Amino acid sequence: MIGRRVKEIRMQKKLSLSQLAERAEIAKSYLSNIERDICINPTIDVVEKLAQALKVHPAVLLSWEIKELGSGIDDSFSCIKSHISTLDSLQLKELRDSIDIVVWKREKVPLSDLGNLI
């Protein structure tokens, strides 16, 4: 979860809760709730603010692994094709939402730049 990752990076950077909250322009109590996993689903805006304040890419806070383009694309596509027909309408909507996030991330920061930000 994001809370443990935020706290871990904050501690590595020797920032207090108050300092990070001020830098990220969010309430200290809200940051505390995120770090203690009381708030487990902060908005993208909050994740971006925290990432900027901690000087890391948002993917780092989300513990997303960034892989080289082209590696395993055929395997990924085959996996998606084999499972897509078994998904119900809610699962298809979740898949579409996930794809929208990936597209948003790609447009926000080119994948080739992600390796330099971590």
What's the predicted TM-score (pTM) here?
Answer: 0.56
Q: What is the pLDDT of residue 8?
A: 92
Measured from the Cβ of residue 71, the count of other Cβ atoms closer than 10 Å reads: 9
**Per-domain residue ranges of the chain:** 1-64, 67-118
Measured CA to CA, the distance from residue 114 to residue 17 in angstroms comes to: 27
Q: What is the pLDDT of residue 70?
A: 45
Task: Name the fold adopted by 1-64.
Answer: 434 Repressor (Amino-terminal Domain) (1.10.260)
Q: What is the pLDDT of residue 68?
A: 43
Q: What is the pLDDT of residue 109?
A: 59
Chain-centroid distance of CA 60 in Å reads: 7
Q: What parts of the chain have a pLDDT lower than 50?
A: 66-70, 118
The answer to whether the beta carbons of residues 55 and 22 sit under 8 Å apart is no
Measured CA to CA, the distance from residue 109 to residue 91 in angstroms comes to: 27
At residue 87, the 3 state secondary structure works out as coil
Task: Kindly report the length of the chain.
Answer: 118
Q: What is the pLDDT of residue 103?
A: 82
The answer to whether the beta carbons of residues 35 and 17 sit under 8 Å apart is yes
Q: DSSP label at 65?
A: P
Measured CA to CA, the distance from residue 77 to residue 59 in angstroms comes to: 22
Measured from the Cβ of residue 56, the count of other Cβ atoms closer than 10 Å reads: 17
